[in-house]
Amino acid sequence: MSAPQRHKFGLQAWLPTIGLAAAFVFNTSEFLPVGLLPNIAESIGESVSKTGLIITVYAWVVSLLSLPLTIVTAKLERRKLLLWLIFIFALSHFLVLWADTFEKLMGARICVAVTHSVFWSIMTPLAARVAPFGRQSLGLAMVMGGTIVATVMGVPLGTRLGQIVGWQGAFFI
């Protein structure tokens, strides 16, 4: 007979779920170009309409690669995969600092989109799995709340930050 499983309580129990609030960062990054599009276009010497392709291509990459990449990564341990995704996500944003052409910026944004496509495929089950016992729905709601906060606060604050420190600085931060 095995001993009953002990459950964590308090802040320690919620730390993994709070960590999953990376949803805020992913979604802020996804939508941030919308607020900074004119700044980005001027900086790389392109029209706003052409520069807008960084948003369109990003969406297409996420939609087209989500299922295939989810299948390819299905056997990987989820926490390690999440850490790798966050590392590649951060590295891709670091590359934006040197994106002085449309092509370089598009390449960096495609890398971010690839991580984003896998991130959302593993995020919801992982959020439910790491939440405290009996609180899986609340853990999932916290992650989804990160999406809402990103849209309502992250993008406007990121846009303002981009106007102060430059669009590349906003992506880097």
21-38 residue pLDDT tens: 778 888 899 999 999 999
Q: How many CB atoms lie within 10 A of CB 40?
A: 26
Q: How many CB atoms lie within 10 A of CB 140?
A: 19
- Do 20 and 30 meet the contact criterion of CB atoms below 8 Å apart? no
pLDDT at 11: 63
Q: Give the Cα separation of 3 and 78 in Å (integer).
A: 26
| Measured CA distances, 35 to 41, 50, 96, 106 (Å) | 12, 15, 16, 17
- Do 118 and 74 meet the contact criterion of CB atoms below 8 Å apart? no
115 residue type, one letter: T
**Residue ranges, the chain, pLDDT below 50:** 1-5
pLDDT at 26: 87
Burial class (CB in 10 A: 0-12, 13-18, 19+), 33: buried
pLDDT at 4: 44
- The whole-model pTM stands at 0.83
- Do 167 and 44 meet the contact criterion of CB atoms below 8 Å apart? no
Q: Give the Cα separation of 100 and 13 in Å (integer).
A: 44
pLDDT at 125: 81
Domains of the chain and CATH, by start? 19-172 (1.20.1250.20)
Tokens of 78: 């989820």
pLDDT at 10: 65
- Do 66 and 52 meet the contact criterion of CB atoms below 8 Å apart? no
114 SS3 class: helix
